Chain A
Amino acid sequence: MSTSMNRRDFIKIAGVGAGSLAFATPLFDFSKGEILAPDAVPGMYAKRTPTYCEICFWKCAGWVHTNEKGKIWKVTGHEDDPHSNGRLCPRGTGGVGMYNDEDRLKTPLIRTEVGGVQTFREASWDEAFTYIADGLKKVADEHGPECTALFTHGSGGKYFGDLLKAFGSSNIAAPSYAQCRGPREVGFIATYGEGVESPERVDIRDTRCLVLIGSHFGENMHNGPVQEIAQATSKGASIITVDPRFSTVASKSKFWLPIKPATDMALLLAWMHVIINEGLYDKDYIEKYAYGFEDLKTHVAQMTPEWAYGITTIKPETIRETAREMANASPRVIIHPGRHVTWYGDDTQRLRAVAMLNALLGSWGRRGGYYYPEKVNFKKYPHPAFPKPARTWKDAYPGKFKLAGLALASGICDATVPTTERDCSFKAWIVNGTNLIHTLPNQANTLKAIQALDLMVVIDTMPMEITGYADVILPECTYLERYDDIRVSKHREPTIALRMPAAPPKYNTKPAWWMAKGLADKMGLGHFFPWENIEEKLDWELKQVGTSLEEMQRIGVKKYKREYDDLYPMQDLEDFEFNTNTGKIELYSTAMEDEGYDPLPKYKAHEEPPEGYYRLIYGRAPMHTFSRTANNPNLTDLMDENSVWVNPKVAKEWDLKNDQYLWLENQDGVVSKTPIKVRVTERIRYDSVYMVHGFGHTNKKLTRAHGRGASDADLITRVHIDPVMGGTGMRGNFVTFRFEAGKEVSS
């Protein structure tokens, strides 16, 4: 594409002075926080202030320690916090690197054209707000306010969400739904009438058997479950791991089932077959709570371990043995629902099978299975009612994705691309804290959508690739420099946690609440943000739950007693009405049937890699979160590039050597933008390759991350859409090896 054809060229943010644009107006009072006694060691901490972590969605509460000079020194976990239990993960411990990263966005930027070349110019906050307000007004006048959308990940999104709602749009999408955990929520809601939610309501601490299907805890460093798995195994719990890769947790498992990828459904159905046919299910529990057991029994009658063996490559005896292992632990058994579950397009159905298997073993609502979490009834600072939008993103998909509970980021993206059958519905995007270039599958499609926009505003702390396509960039200060909303946790015990600034924002960066309120004022929507400043808002809200901002600044986390004694409401077969059509646990889903989907999950064969290609499997490394930490100096120091895991047999066939760099090319001829290092290892199946997600950044302004490793997102061009809720299945892509770079790609 030539430059002149693009409405929106990618700009590698240039000419941004590292500037000492000092923080001029004191927004915060830094005398707050707990002043500690003078330390025995000179120069050590003088003060600690509470926070909750923003490096991932687990949001562990912690303390930010600053030294006598007010310099942030380290972050540690908060002892009273059920998310962290006083211990952060490496990303949380390394959170200070986000604050120190000298590549941060430093001042507002506006796209402009100089001599025919698009570039960014530095702008004042007032200029940036005026530009955005004018742009949004134009979209509203010409197309309606519903043609604006917010993509968001992270705490600040709440303020931009309120802004968008005040403006008249409800199109607020988090890629964490359609690109991640959506199918799980829908699958469990269809079965139990409620979802798994976050943090997951799994009682790993007290379980006797934990079954992980593709979940790689330990590499995927969700703090709570990783801690609880260690606790449970110390007490003798067994782990069954199903994964084509010998993951860290597979190495700690009693059983590792090296399954052929894309066949998990067959295994789940065969497990149900064994558990029903051998009479291993919880008969009283099923009798009391379940609907459709006989239908299920008939449904899985032919799905024997022998049948599944031919599909999964897992031996029949192993399938039986592991089914019995689960049944022996019942009801203290968890078939874990996972989190990133958008794999093959029939993911809601697979997660239904997971939910049903749990039901057969009587683990839902029981100790060591799934508990019923509780949170504090938290009132938000009152504001006028938001206007009701005339239409929503769902209107772009009549009759589709009927069980989608939340907005689909990918759906909004697709509906932004003008097509003959659909009017371009979206004209303005606000993108908060999510690097859509790496987050959404099918990059070409995302870029096409971006070109169709009249306005794109990006809020981030770092010059992520998405910022290069923005019209306006608003630099957010890091979580260590700002207040956000109170973290209201749903857990075994209700808690709330405060995040407050430990140091003034560096450069000319600002917190999200300040930006959203300032923008609202500029757009004539200030009355929706009726508080003077964030302290007033938080203090009012905290006083409704019996505390205050002053108290929370000292204690950080407040625990509340449960109002109801129902952590395990089905422990002794108590009466219970589920929020489903039948009031029962629906093994046979009437809701799915009503909407025209299979009421019982079926095995469907998925496409296999063609000759010379390998299934692309991606996952996490414990020290990184998505693509957002790849430039963090502390975390990059631990891992600064990914590698492609290749089985030695495959390496021999291709004559690949450890540490050799090559490119990956997928089934559609798309080549990774950057080369990747080979890791020859027995830990991956011969029909697959594996890489950690989040590397292969192409923006040169990310000086540590640029060109390091490759991006799996480059190669995920084929997406299998889940018809039930619109999830984007991303594990149906196949790659081969290439020893020279692909053609130059724009950006």
Chain B
Amino acid sequence: MRYAMAVDTLKCVGCNDCVVACQTENDVPIGHCRDWIIEKTTGTYPNLQLEIRSERCNHCANAPCVRTCPTEASHYAEGGIVLVEENECIGCKACITSCPYDARYIHPEGYIDKCTFCIHRVEKGQNPACVSVCPTHAMIFGDLDDPNSDISRAMATRKWKSLIPEAGTDPKVFYLI
């Protein structure tokens, strides 16, 4: 089991529904977020391109946050989902420094928080909240080890990229381009 997510940049309109859905689903405090939107414009008027991406923790298979965590609060859970055990976290921020994707924030209660791929939903066979609300169906979640999963099919048929591949983190969030 290798959980992964693909964001279709051709469909994403950057509406932020994923961000607010995550916030309400996971009770993320106002002023913080576990996912966010990036818009990148290239070219000059009128020859322009725009790429829009919904970003979050990449649930890396080779996760610097897990390596650097002194208390093993950051760990791999089922299917490679990277989680923070809040009771084990001492708030030292080593993971924040080591994460090339800037995916973590300090929860007002003192621990480090980030995307969980909504493991509480995934365990019940549901999609993560962000995926389940996306109005344009721009996000796909699933198991890369299952060749028939929607995500495996999308990755096999579409052009894709991941972010900062040179960091060697083996990220599990992909962008269909």
Which listed residue, A40, A94, A249, touches B24 by the CB 8 Å rule? A94
Interface residues on A, range: 35 or more
Docked-complex contact A87 and B48, CB < 8 angstroms: no
Q: Which of A223-231, A529-537, A694-702 contacts B (4 or more CB under 8 A)?
A: A223-231
Determine the chain A residues whose CB is within 8 A of the CB of B155 once the complex forms.
none
Is there contact, CB below 8 Å, between B48 and A633? no
Contact at B24–A221, with CB atoms within 8 Å? no
The stretch from A15-23, A160-168, A251-259, A555-563 touching chain B is A251-259
Surface stretch bound by A, among B76-84, B100-108, B135-143, B162-170 = B135-143
Contacts of A217 in B (CB 8 A): 13
Q: Is the CB of B41 within 8 A of A634?
A: no
Measured CA separation A230–B14 after assembly (Å): 13
Min C-beta distance of B9 to chain A, whole Å:
10
Q: Measured between alpha carbons, how far is A638 from B24 in the docked complex, in Å?
A: 13
Interface pick from B15-23, B57-65, B85-93, B145-153: B15-23
Q: Please encode chain A, from 33 to 62, with 1 for each CB lying within 8 Å of some chain B CB and 0 for all others.
A: 000000011001000000000000000000
Report if A96 contacts B (CB, 8 A): yes
As a 0/1 sequence over residues 1 to 35 of chain B, the CB contacts with chain A under 8 angstroms (1 = contact) are 00000000011011111011101110000110100
A400 within 8 A of B: no
Given the known A-B contacts A623-B16, A623-B20, A637-B31, are A683 and B124 also in contact in the complex, defined by CB atoms under 8 Å?
no
> CA–CA, A217 to B136, complex, Å?
11
**Interface pick from A72-80, A432-440, A485-493, A716-724:** A72-80
A94-B20, A637-B31 are known contacts. Are A74 and B25 too (CB-CB below 8 A)? yes
**Is A518 an interface position by the 8 A CB rule?**
no
Closest to A704 in B: B30
Given known contacts A230-B138, A637-B23, A251 and B17 CB-to-CB distance under 8 angstroms? no
- The interface residues of chain B lying within 8 Å CB-to-CB of A226 are 13, 15, 135-136
| Pick from A252, A258, A634: contact of B10, CB under 8 Å | A252
Mark out the residues of chain B between 118 and 137 whose CB falls within 8 Å of any chain A CB in the assembled complex: 120, 123-124, 132-137
Q: Does A685 contact B (CB under 8 A)?
A: yes
**CB of A176 closer than 8 Å to a CB of B:** no
Of the residues A75, A221, A682, contact of B15 by C-beta under 8 Å = A221
Please, which residues of chain A bring their CB within 8 A of the CB of B177? Answer: none
Cross-chain contact of A638 among B16, B41, B120 (Cβ < 8 A) = B16
With A87-B135, A248-B52, A623-B16 as given contacts, are A682 and B41 in contact (CB-CB < 8 Å)? yes
Q: Is the CB of B45 within 8 A of A682?
A: yes
A633 CA to B30 CA, complexed, in Å = 7
Query: Which bucket holds chain B's interface residue count?
Result: 35 or more
Residue pair A622, B25 in contact (C-beta under 8 Å):
no
Min distance, Cβ B45 to any Cβ of chain A, angstroms: 5
Are A234's CB and B46's CB within 8 A? no
B23 touches A634 (CB 8 A): yes
- Given A74-B25, A227-B135, A637-B31: A622 and B16 interface contact (C-beta under 8 Å): yes
The interface residues of chain B lying within 8 Å CB-to-CB of A647 are 45
Rounded to whole angstroms, the CA-CA distance of A340 and B44 in the bound complex is: 28
Taking a contact as CB atoms closer than 8 A, the residue among B24, B31, B33 that contacts A96 in the complex is B24
Q: Does B50 contact A (CB under 8 A)?
A: yes
Chain B residues with CB under 8 Å of A685's CB are 45
Q: How many A-B residue pairs have CB under 8 A?
A: 121
Find A93's partner among B31, B120, B133 (CB 8 Å cutoff): B133
**A619 adjacent to chain B (CB < 8 Å):** no
Query: What distance in Å separates the Cβ of B104 from its nearest Cβ neighbour in chain A?
Result: 18
* Bound complex: CA A639 to CA B39 (Å): 14
Indicate if the CB atoms of A230 and B41 lie closer than 8 Å. no
Within 8 A of B (CB), among A71-101: 73-77, 87-90, 93-94, 96
Q: Select which of A73, A74, A229, A246 is within 8 A of B48 by beta carbon.
A: A246
Residue B49 interfacial (CB < 8 Å): yes
B82 shortest CB reach to chain A, Å: 19
Contact A93 B11 (CB under 8 A): no
* Contact A248/B46 with A41-B120, A87-B135, A230-B137 known, Cβ cut-off 8 Å: no
Bound together, the chains give a CA A526 to CA B48 distance in angstroms of 61
Cα–Cα distance between A396 and B30 once the two chains are bound (Å)? 49
Query: Quick check: is A305 within 8 A (CB to CB) of the other chain?
Result: no
A230 x B11 contact (CB < 8 A):
yes
Residues in B neighbouring A219, C-beta threshold 8 A: 13
Question: What's the Cα separation between A230 and B135 when bound, in Å?
Answer: 9
Q: Are B123 and A638 in contact (CB under 8 A)?
A: no
Interchain CA distance A622-B135 in the complex, whole Å:
11
Indicate whether A623 sits within 8 Å of B15 (C-beta atoms), given known contacts A87-B134, A682-B48: yes
Most chain A beta-carbon contacts within 10 A, residue among B16, B19, B137: B16
A521 to chain B, nearest CB (A): 39
> Is the Cβ of B133 less than 8 Å from the Cβ of A87?
yes
A residues less than 8 Å from B50 (CB atoms)? 246, 248, 251, 683
User: Which A residues are CB-close (under 8 A) to B30?
Assistant: 633-634, 637
A89 and B45 form a contact (CB under 8 A): no
Contact of B14 (CB < 8 Å), options: A44, A93, A248 = A248
Complex Cα spacing A645 to B45, Å: 13
CA distance A648 to B41 in the complex (A): 13
Residues of chain A in range 546-573 having any CB-CB distance to chain B below 8 Å: none
Q: Say whether A266 faces chain B, with CB atoms less than 8 Å apart.
A: no
Would you call B24 and A73 a contact (CB within 8 A)? yes
Q: A75-B24, A251-B52, A683-B45 are in contact. List 13 more A-B contacts (CB 8 A).
A: A40-B124, A44-B120, A76-B132, A90-B15, A93-B24, A221-B135, A226-B15, A230-B11, A252-B13, A256-B46, A258-B45, A622-B16, A683-B50
Interface of B toward A, CB cutoff 8 Å: 10-11, 13-17, 19-21, 23-25, 30-31, 33, 41, 43-46, 48-50, 52, 120, 123-124, 132-138
A-B contact pairs, 20 of them (CB 8 A): A40-B124, A73-B24, A93-B133, A218-B15, A221-B135, A227-B135, A227-B136, A230-B137, A233-B10, A249-B13, A252-B13, A258-B45, A258-B46, A634-B20, A637-B30, A638-B19, A682-B41, A682-B45, A683-B48, A683-B50
* A residues whose Cβ falls under 8 Å from a Cβ of B: 40-41, 44, 73-77, 87-90, 93-94, 96, 217-219, 221, 223, 226-227, 229-230, 233-234, 246, 248-249, 251-252, 256, 258, 622-623, 633-635, 637-639, 647-648, 681-686
